[in-house]
């Protein structure tokens, strides 16, 4: 193949899925001349699995992406067909927004945003090789011989990396949804010395919406009350005409069919090598592992406004096609189902994430970043979050600036990246609220409070958005102060209100602020007794949460503060751990492999004991003292 020089860029992003799109947009918006290459221009931000965005933890990641100036929140707000707030009966920390997306529109809108972004070129190409010189990335070479040079490269190849689709006895080389796989890039990574793992994920069959008997299913409509992902989408544009999902269940007959055909299931025949996720099991997995469950939930989710395809959530499978069809038709409501796409499992390569820094730059090749499913995660939101961070850091590295790193107490994105690079993962990693030790600080409602300043400082969040946030912040502060200075007297009105809420009457006057601390009392209730101010519902929400959960929030802040000093104790690069007297052998091995960046990170590595940390701290501290001494001389 004759090669040719095809152009010079600051940053090249390889792959335009959910990670790649965010990465390219972030780099370009931060002023880097950016190239985004993808195998198929018609599959930008494509949803090869469920047509939805958000949910617990994941929905908060979308808000975080939005608060930092990323695209996912805006894009889903433009293209949703249903919106629901989950966990509304629970506390504020676990509320989560989820949208059903119009899958095609989602992809098209993302493509449009990319095309309209200055500094950003979009091309269809397959990258076969990375150009690496002296341990530093210099560019990429495509299968058609084009050489693109750059100072930073972000790889977001996802399940395309030597992807193999498996349906029963059938196995073939393919990217997601029968797209072309990327083969040579994986081989190139191995040649460069990267360690790869093999993971597995899967998707259920799609059926025609006109072949469903809805009478026996349960309708699940969207919310009436408006909510959006992006902090900039106004309630006024909330979609009235939403499309419902429907709930049905597998039958004992379905389970019988699966059991009878287990000998043909790849997971039992040994065709599958990759490790699947516990939280994303196939239906055959569920039937085997939870054999006493008489039925499993199935959600029928529309894939868009202009398509008849329905995604059957809960029926992910790699059983042979005929078995999938038989199982589908054993489900109440799906007796006449027409299967439009067959479910499949897909195996793919992942870069073992211990090879990454918390900036998502690889330790092996300077200027090379990886993000998304390629780093062992699962989910569009997880991919988007990483893509954003990798894109930012690629741009920052080109500018010669320090990387942008989030702490576990900053965001779910920070939790995820720390988990990946510190603990690694032996299955596709999904964010759960229980992975966050500071869940109460990482809320859906306060993502802008946590991250707007960072997004603004990075040059990603627009000035307009930042000012909008500052205004909200100020109004919240003023209202909090006001409520601290209003005293409520035990009037008849208040007492009868308290009685109606089954609360004890006031004995004495009380400041409005403290009155609102009662879990049963809402902000709007308090406004019955004090002068009402015109505030947005977001400001009211902040005021209420801040007051009501103050005790718990402070507890969480204290917990986070305790670790902060450890977070700020940085460990120099390339420490020869074996030369440190007294660290246990297992710890030496782990520390050498992971090369933690801070003492806090080191302390989270399993197998590294507190005594190892104590000695490491002494060593690090000693290094500092030595340096100071030299400077004095």
Partner 1 sequence: MSIEFDTIAAISTPPGEGGIGIVRISGDEALEIADKVYQLGNKKISEQVSHTIHYGNIVNPKTNTKIDEVMVTVMRAPKTYTREDIVEINTHGGVMATNKVLQTVLQFGGRLAEPGEFTKRAFLNGRIDLSQAEAVMDVIRAKTDKAMHMAVTQLDGNLSNLIKNLRQEILLTLAQVEVNIDYPEYDDVEEMTSKILVEKAKEVKEQVRQLLDTASQGKILREGLATAIIGRPNVGKSSLLNVLLKEEKAIVTEVAGTTRDVIEDYVSVKGVPLRLIDTAGIRDTEDIVEKIGVERSRKALADADLILLVFNQSEPLTEEDRKLIKVTEDHNRIIILNKMDLETQVDIPELEGLVDKESIIQTSIVTQAGLDELENKLADLFFSGQTGEKDATYVSNIRHIALLQDAETALEEVIDGIESGMPVDLVQIDMTRAWDYLGEITGDSVQDELITQLFSQFCLGK
**Binding residues for partner 1 (CB under 8 A):** 49-50, 56-57, 86-87, 89-91, 93-94, 96, 204, 277-281, 286, 289-290, 293, 296-297, 299, 313-314, 316, 423, 432-435, 437, 439-440, 518-520, 549, 552, 555-556, 562-563, 565-566, 581-582, 599, 603, 606, 609-611, 613-615, 617-619, 621-622, 625-626, 629
Measured from the CB of residue 30, what is the shortest distance to partner 1 in angstroms?
A: 34
Tokens coding 446:
């306060």
Q: Closest Cα to residue 90, out of 360, 378, 433? A: 433
Q: Which is nearer to partner 1, 92 or 320 (CB)?
A: 92
Measured from the CB of residue 104, what is the shortest distance to partner 1 in angstroms?
A: 20
Q: Which is nearer to partner 1, 69 or 204 (CB)?
A: 204
Measured from the CB of residue 368, what is the shortest distance to partner 1 in angstroms?
A: 29
CB 560 within 8 A of CB 436: no
Measured from the CB of residue 428, what is the shortest distance to partner 1 in angstroms?
A: 11
Terminal-to-terminal C-alpha distance of the chain: 59
Q: Which is nearer to partner 1, 148 or 299 (CB)?
A: 299
Quote the CA–CA distance of 166 and 317 in Å, as a whole number.
10
Q: Which is nearer to partner 1, 471 or 550 (CB)?
A: 550
Q: Which is nearer to partner 1, 298 or 494 (CB)?
A: 298
Measured from the CB of residue 623, what is the shortest distance to partner 1 in angstroms?
A: 10
Which helix (H) or strand (E) element contains residue 141? Answer: strand 136-142
- Identify the three-state secondary structure at position 28: helix
Question: Is the dihedral angle over the CA atoms 411, 83, 466, 45 positive or is it negative?
Answer: positive
Q: CA dihedral defined by 45, 50, 55, 61, rounded to 10 degrees?
A: -20
Q: Which is nearer to partner 1, 478 or 580 (CB)?
A: 580
- Measured from the Cβ of residue 169, the count of other Cβ atoms closer than 10 Å reads 12
Q: Which is nearer to partner 1, 281 or 384 (CB)?
A: 281
Q: What is the DSSP letter of 405?
A: -
Residue 227, phi-psi category: left (phi > 0), alpha (psi -120 to 50), beta (remainder): beta
What does 192-206 look like in DSSP terms, one character per residue?
Answer: TT--EEEEEEEE--E
Angle, vertex CA 353, rays to CA 348 and CA 356, nearest 5: 130
Measured from the CB of residue 284, what is the shortest distance to partner 1 in angstroms?
A: 12
Measured from the CB of residue 594, what is the shortest distance to partner 1 in angstroms?
A: 16
Beta-ladder partners of 136: 133, 366
Full strand arrangement of the beta sheet holding 80-86: 52-54, 96-101, 80-86
Question: Is the dihedral angle over the CA atoms 392, 393, 394, 396 positive or is it negative?
Answer: positive
Q: Which is nearer to partner 1, 101 or 120 (CB)?
A: 101
Measured from the CB of residue 109, what is the shortest distance to partner 1 in angstroms?
A: 24
Measured from the CB of residue 632, what is the shortest distance to partner 1 in angstroms?
A: 12
- Measured from the Cβ of residue 89, the count of other Cβ atoms closer than 10 Å reads 6
Tokens coding 64:
């975080």
Q: Which is nearer to partner 1, 213 or 297 (CB)?
A: 297
Q: Which is nearer to partner 1, 192 or 216 (CB)?
A: 216
CB 249 within 8 A of CB 298: yes
Measured from the CB of residue 479, what is the shortest distance to partner 1 in angstroms?
A: 23
Quote the CA–CA distance of 591 and 552 in Å, as a whole number.
35
- Identify the three-state secondary structure at position 607: coil
Tokens coding 222:
């969207």
Measured from the CB of residue 425, what is the shortest distance to partner 1 in angstroms?
A: 10
Measured from the CB of residue 595, what is the shortest distance to partner 1 in angstroms?
A: 18
Q: Which is nearer to partner 1, 530 or 560 (CB)?
A: 560
Measured from the CB of residue 570, what is the shortest distance to partner 1 in angstroms?
A: 14
Q: Which is nearer to partner 1, 2 or 581 (CB)?
A: 581
Q: Which residues contact 320 (CB under 8 A, 6 or more apart)?
A: 167, 168, 169, 170, 261, 264
Q: Which is nearer to partner 1, 138 or 541 (CB)?
A: 541
Q: Which residues contact 146 (CB under 8 A, 6 or more apart)?
A: 3, 4, 6, 125
Tokens coding 461:
């969040």
CB 62 within 8 A of CB 72: yes
Quote the CA–CA distance of 601 and 418 in Å, as a whole number.
8
């Amino acid at each position: 193949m004759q090669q040719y020089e095809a152009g010079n860029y600051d940053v090249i992003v390889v792959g335009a899925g959910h990670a790649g799109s965010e990465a390219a947009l972030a780099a370009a918006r931060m002023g880097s001349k950016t190239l985004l290459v993808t195998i198929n221009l018609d599959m930008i931000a494509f949803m090869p699995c469920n047509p939805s965005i958000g949910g617990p933890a994941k929905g908060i990641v979308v808000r975080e992406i939005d608060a930092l100036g990323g695209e996912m929140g805006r894009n889903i707000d433009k293209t949703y067909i249903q919106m629901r707030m989950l966990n509304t009966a629970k506390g504020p920390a676990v509320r989560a927004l989820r949208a059903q997306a119009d899958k095609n529109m989602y992809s098209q809108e993302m493509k449009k945003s990319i095309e309209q972004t200055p500094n950003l070129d979009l091309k269809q190409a397959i990258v076969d090789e990375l150009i690496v010189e002296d341990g530093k990335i210099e560019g990429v070479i495509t299968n058609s011989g084009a050489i693109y040079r750059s100072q930073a490269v972000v790889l977001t190849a996802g399940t395309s990396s030597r992807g193999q689709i498996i349906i029963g006895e059938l196995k073939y080389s393919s990217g997601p949804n029968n797209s072309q796989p990327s083969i040579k890039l994986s081989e190139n990574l191995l040649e460069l010395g990267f360690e790869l793992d093999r993971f597995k994920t899967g998707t259920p069959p799609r059926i025609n919406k006109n072949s469903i008997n809805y009478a026996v299913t349960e309708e699940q409509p969207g919310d009436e009350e408006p909510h959006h992902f992006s902090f900039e989408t106004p309630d006024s544009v909330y979609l009235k005409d939403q499309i419902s999902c429907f709930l049905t269940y597998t039958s004992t007959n379905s389970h019988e069919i699966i059991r009878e055909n287990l000998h043909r299931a790849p997971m039992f025949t040994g065709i599958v090598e990759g490790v699947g996720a516990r939280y994303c099991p196939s239906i055959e997995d569920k039937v085997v592992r939870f054999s006493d469950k008489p039925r499993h939930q199935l959600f029928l989710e529309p894939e868009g406004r202009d398509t008849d395809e329905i995604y059957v959530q809960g029926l992910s499978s790699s059983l042979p096609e005929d078995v999938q069809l038989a199982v589908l038709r054993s489900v109440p409501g799906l007796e006449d189902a027409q299967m439009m796409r067959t479910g499949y499992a897909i195996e793919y390569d992942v870069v073992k994430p211990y090879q990454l820094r918390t900036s998502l730059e690889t330790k092996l090749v300077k200027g090379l970043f990886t993000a998304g499913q390629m780093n062992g995660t699962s989910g569009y939101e997880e991919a988007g979050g990483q893509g954003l961070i990798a894109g930012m850091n690629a741009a920052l590295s080109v500018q010669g600036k320090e990387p942008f790193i989030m702490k576990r107490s900053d965001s779910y994105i920070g939790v995820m990246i720390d988990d990946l690079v510190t603990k690694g993962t032996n299955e596709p990693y999904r964010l759960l609220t229980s992975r966050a030790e500071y869940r109460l600080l990482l809320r859906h409602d306060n993502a802008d409070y946590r991250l707007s300043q960072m997004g603004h400082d990075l040059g990603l969040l627009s000035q307009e958005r930042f000012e909008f946030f500052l205004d909200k912040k100020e109004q919240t502060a003023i209202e909090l102060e006001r409520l601290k200075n209003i005293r409520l007297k035990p009037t008849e009105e208040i007492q009868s209100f308290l009685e109606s809420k089954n609360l004890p009457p006031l004995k004495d006057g009380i400041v409005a602020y403290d009155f609102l601390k009662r879990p049963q009392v809402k902000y709007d209730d308090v406004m019955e007794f004090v002068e009402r101010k015109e505030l947005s519902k977001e400001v009211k929400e902040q005021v209420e949460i801040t007051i009501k959960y103050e005790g718990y929030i402070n507890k969480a802040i204290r917990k986070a503060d305790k670790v902060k000093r450890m977070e700020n104790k940085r460990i120099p690069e390339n420490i020869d751990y074996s030369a440190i007297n007294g660290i246990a052998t297992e710890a030496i091995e782990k520390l050498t492999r992971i090369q933690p960046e801070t003492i806090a990170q080191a302390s989270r590595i399993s197998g590294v004991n507190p005594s190892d940390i104590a000695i490491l701290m002494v060593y690090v501290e000693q290094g500092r003292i030595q340096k100071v001494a030299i400077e004095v001389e």
